[in-house]
Amino acid sequence: MAATEAKPRLNVPAAMAGALRLDPSGTASPSRSASSSSSRLLEIPKTPSPSKTTYSDRFIPCRSSSRLHNFALIDPPSSPAAAPDTPYSRLLRAELFPDSTPTSDAAAAGPDSPNTNLFRFKTDRPAPASPFAAAASHLDCVAGSGDSSASKKLPRKVPKTPHKVLDAPSLQDDFYLNLVDWSSQNMLAVGLGTCVYLWSASSSKVTKLCDLGPRDTVCAVHWTREGSYLAVGTGHGDVQIWDSSRCKRIRNMGGHQARASVLAWNSTILSSGSRDKSILQHDIRVPNDYISKFSGHRSEVCGLKWSHDDRELASGGNDNQLLVWNQRSQQPVLRLTEHTAAVKAIAWSPHQHGLVASGGGTADRCIKFWNTANGNMLNSVDTGSQVCNLAWCKNVNELVSTHGYSQNQIMVWKYPSMSKVATLTGHTLRVLYLAMSPDGQTIVTGAGDETLRFWNIFPSMKTQAPVRDPGLWSFSRSHIR
């Protein structure tokens, strides 16, 4: 069966209105007598009277009262047929008709071109507000002017004030300690004096995990990557492992001769740095307190971070050095000595393998970037203040730094340009502590002013990466959630 084609509408001049009619075949023929009107689909009256309305079985709307000319679907009598082109019409045409003729070709085709008036917004006549106006304004901003598609994106707005502030009495004003950490299960651990408290970010419930007693202090806290167990470094040099669900201590490991002020997990291996200048490797699967000892710093170890692939360990000390270790050698594979003050702030890039950032203390004030494959320094930025912490965002290629003397600010940087995205203030003392939420959007900062402040600074990530399993544990797997 042949496909049925649409019949074109026949425009009938007024002079022939009484002589022509439309029969069911769609062709024009001479008018018959009134007795044959039942076979006619539509008869056009000779001279319609203003006081008399003729009805038929088809309704033809009157377009004189419509506003189709505002959207250029028809041509108003007083305007030319071809309307000027706009970025809105180009973008809309490209989305709806990707294979259609380009705008320049359509305009060159003249007023007889079938797509001349299609989806073209015109402002020659005032019209009530419509959603098309807002859409056109938005797309004009995206499209830019003329044919240029490379327009500058508006800078991302970062809230200048924290969305939550918590009191943290007895939060120590000590540059070398690490007393705040945020778990993958959305639980915040904070060391306050001799105690460790847990704060649930989802329910705001506060739980006292442990109290070390009047003769000891909490110097460091750090969650496992799976998020159920917390390592606690003490002033006596011990490293304890606590089950957060039962508030029960699982292990107590010695070996340090002074306070354990920094901790870092690598699957089942826990690294601890101390004022005794050493770094101990604790394997929780074996009964020994530690399995190896790294000696390379000449002063207190205050910064410690494993790379995201668990192959390299970066350590910073009060001797102004940044050392890089691997698991196969007890000697550092890199010794980076360009800092002129203590190196506590360390962050590995989640976006580029072998890229690590480090920050120097009051006499240095610089953030330096290193390629650990060859030991080259890639960049150095003077921040103007003591660098206390660094954290790299996993959602976007940006990092945040917290500072002490003398501005006590929080700064967000875009990498690799190191242009400032935002500068946040609010703490009245050095911003010594920093942790990031599991979704990578929020940070919490702590200071000697005994407050914890929560800031929404990073955008969300479309697909969240699953939390990696930490491996086999020496104790019951039923406690690992």
What is the tens place of the pLDDT at every residue in 439-462? Answer: 999 999 999 999 999 999 999 986
> Which of the residue ranges 138-152, 187-201, 233-247, 258-272 would you say has the lowest mean pLDDT?
138-152
- Residue owning tokens 């045409």: 93
Residues 345 and 393 in one domain: yes
Residue 23 lies in a domain: no
Q: Are residues 184 and 132 both part of a single domain?
A: no
* 54 vs 396, more confident: 396
* Whether residue 168 is found in the same domain as residue 131: no
Mark 383-418 as b/e (b = at least 16 C-beta within 10 Å). bebbbbbbbbbbebbbbbbbbbeebbbbbbbebeee
Q: Which residue has the higher pLDDT, 208 or 59?
A: 208
At which of 76, 111, 145 does a domain end?
Answer: 145
- For the chain, counts of helices (H) and of strands (E): 3, 30
Residues 168 and 141 in one domain: no
Arithmetic mean of pLDDT, 2-20: 42
- Tell me: do 206 and 295 sit in the same domain: yes
Residues 96, 218: one domain?
Answer: no
DSSP assignment letter at 226: S
The DSSP string of 26-79 is S-EEE---GGGGGG-SB---SS--TT-----SS----GGGS-GGGGTSS--TTS
Report the pLDDT value the prediction gives residue 66, as an integer from 0 to 100.
Answer: 52
Q: How many CA atoms lie within 13 A of 353 on its CB side?
A: 4
> At 421, which CATH number?
2.130.10.10
| One domain, residues 248 and 320 | yes
In a domain? residue 19: no
Domain membership of residue 213 (yes or no) is yes
User: Does the pLDDT of residue 331 top 60, yes or no?
Assistant: yes
Q: What is the pLDDT of residues 315-330, one digit of tens each?
A: 999 999 999 999 888 8
Mean pLDDT computed over every residue of the chain: 78
Q: Is 261 helix (H, G, I), strand (E, B) or coil?
A: strand
- 420 within some domain: yes
Same domain, 141 and 171: no
Q: Is there a single domain that holds both residue 209 and residue 110?
A: no
Same domain for 131 and 177, yes or no, is no
Task: Say whether both 356 and 445 belong to one domain.
Answer: yes
102 and 188 share a domain? Answer: no
pTM over 0.85: no
Nearest to 18 by CA among 43, 42, 46: 46
| Domains of the chain: total | 2
Domain that holds residue 118: 62-145
Is residue 299 over pLDDT 80? yes
Convert the pLDDT of each residue in 274-294 to its tens digit: 999 999 999 999 999 999 999
